[in-house]
Structure 1
Amino acid sequence: MKFKIIPILPLLLSFVFLTSCEKDDPEIDYMATYPVSGDWTVNYYVENDEGELEEVANHTQIIAYNTSANVPTEIWIDDHGSFWDYKVKTSLNMTDLTFSGNELDNEHYESKVTITDGKVIKNGTKVNGMQADSIYFRVSFDDDEEPYGTIYHAAGHRSNGFGD
């Protein structure tokens, strides 16, 4: 009986080559704006005459992401038209995970947007039994007609893909 070594040799050499190579996987770093950056599910509220918050929109999407400079001092906030159709670049403080800006240029159409009291709280809420980061900010629009100057409260959590 003749043993054929030829077909086994390439397989053996491939195995030796693959196991002997050391992988130089670089560490994957988060962007400079993480954990503020990400996909967020938010509800919008307005304050009524009694000072209570009434919901005006629910389960809308906000995306917060780094600018092309990838610095920890500015971030894009973009709702992709899920509530008001705004996209603004606002200042960011990564030390306390806060963001805000007055009369910011809306990149989607000509208008001004003001964001105040923006804050991300790590592990600030539970969503479907899982711990999640939470987000809160106030937003107003210079083209809001009724009543002009309405301040909307946006509150929500990091989207987790589990039916949030």
Structure 2
Amino acid sequence: MKKLLYILAVGFIGLTACDDTELDNWDSAVLDYSGSYLYQVSEPDGTLVADYDNEQKLEFYNTSADVANELWIDDHDKVFELRSKFFFDGDAGSFKSKSIAFADLTNNEKAIVVPEPKPTALGETTVVARDYIRAAIVEGKIIKNGATTLGKNITDSLYVSIVLYSGNVTFKSEEVPVEYRSNPDKEEFKWVLDAVAYDATADESYIISGHRYTGFTEDDY
């Protein structure tokens, strides 16, 4: 019996240590923003574009630098195909992009994926029209305990006014190093990002509204 109690005690200590580690991992500079949010999307005039869906989540998380007001927003290809790094002024309760000028924003990783087929020689270029090359937050709010879920649980509310910039993406050909070729004896080429060009006539603005995902089944849509 004493041996069993000792094993249980050691196991409890180990679990406690693990929990502490998990807490440390979540101690980020953007903790007040971080998490997954269920959401709907509307045009500025209120026209519904995408309604709530339990598989449709907008995720906010810290960058590798883990500094305040610098974070990634990712919709996991559900509505916008957006994964971009944002730089904010303010705090989680009231934030906006430091600049909404196209030149000051970072590229949406989903919009600069290299095209197919691959190039066949050096000196080739291709220009591809792409939606949502960059994005800016005009206004955002994450309100602590500001929402009531379907299951009557209290959680944080989300409001984001976003503008999405589209245009053209230019790729140029580059030789693949020998060690990365499928056949070392055969020349191989790949596309690399060369430039992005903004089309001011293609701007789109949307309102994202929702709440922090609770994980409770009674809150599922």
Query: Shorter-chain TM-score: which interval?
Result: 0.7 to 0.9
Residue 99 of structure 1, CA deviation: 4.1
Question: Matches of 2:160 and 2:97 in 1, distance apart?
Answer: 8
Aligned residues of 2:136 and 2:164 also touching (Cα < 8 A)? yes
- Residue of structure 1 in register with 2:220 after alignment: 163
**Structure 2, unaligned runs of 5 or more:** 113-132, 168-198
Q: Equivalent of 1:68, from 54, 59, 64? A: 64
Most deviating of 152-161 and 109-118: 109-118
Greater than 6 Å deviation, 4+ residue runs: none
- Residue of structure 1 in register with 2:42 after alignment: 45
**Higher helix share goes to which structure?**
2
- Residue of structure 2 in register with 1:6 after alignment: none
Deviations 1:73-96 (A, max 9, x none): 201011111111011111244474
Q: Equivalent of 1:122, from 141, 144, 147? A: 144
Residue 21 of structure 1, CA deviation: 9.6
Aligned residues of 1:90 and 1:99 also touching (Cα < 8 A)? no
**Identity in percent:** 26
Residues 51-62 of structure 1 aligned to structure 2 (within 5 Å)? 53-59=46-52, 60-62=56-58
1:138 aligns with 2:161: yes
Residue 113 of structure 1, CA deviation: 1.3
Question: Matches of 1:127 and 1:22 in 2, distance apart?
Answer: 34
Paired residues in the alignment total 149
Cα RMSD over matched residues? 2.7
TM-score by length of 1: 0.76
Aligned residues of 1:65 and 1:75 also touching (Cα < 8 A)? yes
- Residue of structure 1 in register with 2:2 after alignment: 12
- Residue of structure 2 in register with 1:109 after alignment: 111
For residues 17 and 127 of structure 1, do their structure 2 counterparts lie closer, same or farther at Cα, with a shift above 3 Å needed?
Answer: closer
- Residue of structure 2 in register with 1:82 after alignment: 78
For residues 38 and 21 of structure 1, do their structure 2 counterparts lie closer, same or farther at Cα, with a shift above 3 Å needed?
Answer: closer
SS at match of 1:115: strand
SS at match of 1:47: coil
Residue 19 of structure 1, CA deviation: 4.1
For residues 22 and 91 of structure 1, do their structure 2 counterparts lie closer, same or farther at Cα, with a shift above 3 Å needed?
Answer: same
For residues 58 and 14 of structure 1, do their structure 2 counterparts lie closer, same or farther at Cα, with a shift above 3 Å needed?
Answer: same
Aligned residues of 2:144 and 2:157 also touching (Cα < 8 A)? yes
